[in-house]
């Protein structure tokens, strides 16, 4: 039975049932699938290095895999050390930030008291009640904190294992994907797998390059404005920028708060203008040039993907949803019958302007030909 020859309503019903089933399985397998997908993305990023070590330096497959793993762990350790040192210096300014926050909080209390006729003492009672309820559930808080820690350690453990396995057994996985289809489709499947692998590798590399460029631009802007912790805020902005629209807004709020706590209100305005400029440059120059328009996701499905990713996998889902949608778009655009879905996920193609041709009739009328 050919799926693409079925009636539209039947195809729609099957598609909806499939989406619901896949979503449910993704939610159940979060602890395994999330580190697996991240390991797959990192394996695609380090695949050229592993191939170079095997072909040029004649490394065994296991040796090239472990070398790639060591390089990745060194980079991750460097990032952790960087954030740790920056947060250490940031903690020294916490008293000043706390004082500034208290001033802003008191001003907010006066505004609430004047606007809603709620006395400051009543506001403090509400806050105390909320704090008492929170502190009374300290066991729940400790359990939640311990759960986050253990979940993070488990995520890292599975991520490293999957990274090793994917790089080490990539040929077996590739052959399985090709051989699982019919003999007459093997050539086309091989072509699709090759194109998807190349486009995915380019997309992930472009995404990492985008993070570096946005981090550098933001650091330069904040440094010129004299904002403290410019490097920390710049790197944080670059990483959060992976989450479209929402990430840049979160980093903007954090930067404005730091700028207001360590500077003046005018500095906050300049920071906001600077972030808008960086976002415009990123969206119109960096993203199309570095990441490429072929895998660019439109704003509607980027936002929907972020919401679905957060619902399925939490914070990790918000970061991984955009690469996942990009890979799905690449596959859809190369499978007959799914191309309309691929175009739906992408940006609107600008129509090519054709030269106007005119035809002169016997009564000397001009007609424009499309």
- Look up the pTM and report it: 0.71
DSSP 298: P
Q: Please, which residues have CB within 8 angstroms of residue 27's CB and are 6 or more apart in sequence?
A: 312
Residues 259-291 have pLDDT tens digits of 877 777 788 889 999 999 998 888 788 777 776
Higher pLDDT, 53 or 110: 53
Contact call for residues 218 and 278 (beta carbons, < 8 A): yes
Q: Is 291 exposed, middle or buried (0-12, 13-18, 19+ CB in 10 A)?
A: buried
Lowest mean pLDDT among 30-39, 57-66, 241-250: 241-250
Average confidence score pLDDT of the chain = 77
What band does 116 get if pLDDT is binned at 50, 70 and 90? low
Residues 306-346 have pLDDT tens digits of 888 888 888 788 888 888 888 888 778 877 777 888 888 87
Give, in order, the Cα–Cα distances in Å from 257 to each of 60, 68, 244, 355.
51, 39, 21, 53
Task: Tell me the Cα Rg of the chain.
Answer: 26
């Amino acid at each position: 039975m050919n799926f693409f020859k079925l009636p539209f309503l039947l195809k729609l019903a099957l598609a909806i049932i499939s989406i619901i089933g896949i979503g449910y399985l993704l939610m159940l397998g979060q602890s395994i699938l999330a580190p697996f997908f991240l390991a797959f993305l990192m394996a695609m990023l380090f695949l050229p290095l592993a191939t170079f070590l095997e072909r040029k330096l004649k490394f065994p497959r296991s040796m090239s895999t472990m070398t790639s793993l060591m390089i990745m762990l060194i980079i991750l350790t460097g990032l952790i050390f960087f954030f740790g040192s920056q947060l250490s210096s940031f903690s020294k300014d916490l008293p000043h930030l706390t004082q500034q926050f208290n001033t802003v909080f008191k001003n907010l209390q006066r505004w609430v008291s004047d606007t809603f006729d709620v006395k400051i003492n009543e506001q403090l009672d509400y806050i105390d009640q909320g704090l008492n309820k929170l502190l009374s559930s300290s066991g729940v808080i400790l359990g939640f904190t311990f759960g986050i820690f253990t979940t993070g350690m488990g995520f890292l453990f599975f991520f490293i294992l999957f990274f090793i396995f994917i790089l080490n057994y990539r040929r077996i996985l590739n052959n399985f994907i090709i051989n699982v289809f019919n003999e007459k489709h093997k050539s086309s499947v091989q072509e699709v797998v090759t194109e998807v692998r190349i486009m995915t590798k380019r997309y992930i590399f472009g995404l990492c390059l985008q993070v570096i460029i946005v981090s550098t631009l933001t650091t330069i802007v904040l440094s010129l404005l004299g904002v403290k912790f410019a490097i920390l805020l710049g790197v944080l902005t670059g990483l959060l920028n992976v989450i479209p629209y929402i990430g840049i807004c979160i980093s903007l709020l954090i930067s404005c708060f730091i700028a207001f706590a360590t500077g003046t209100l005018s500095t906050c305005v300049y920071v906001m203008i600077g972030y808008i400029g960086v976002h415009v440059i990123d969206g119109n120059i960096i993203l199309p040039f570095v990441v490429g328009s072929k895998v660019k996701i439109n704003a509607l499905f980027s936002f929907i993907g972020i919401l679905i990713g957060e619902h399925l996998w939490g914070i990790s889902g918000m970061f991984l949803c955009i690469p996942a949608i990009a890979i799905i778009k690449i596959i859809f655009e190369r499978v007959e019958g799914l191309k309309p879905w691929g175009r739906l996920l992408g940006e609107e193609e600008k129509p090519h302007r054709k030269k106007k041709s005119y035809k002169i009739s016997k009564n000397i009328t001009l007609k424009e030909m499309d």
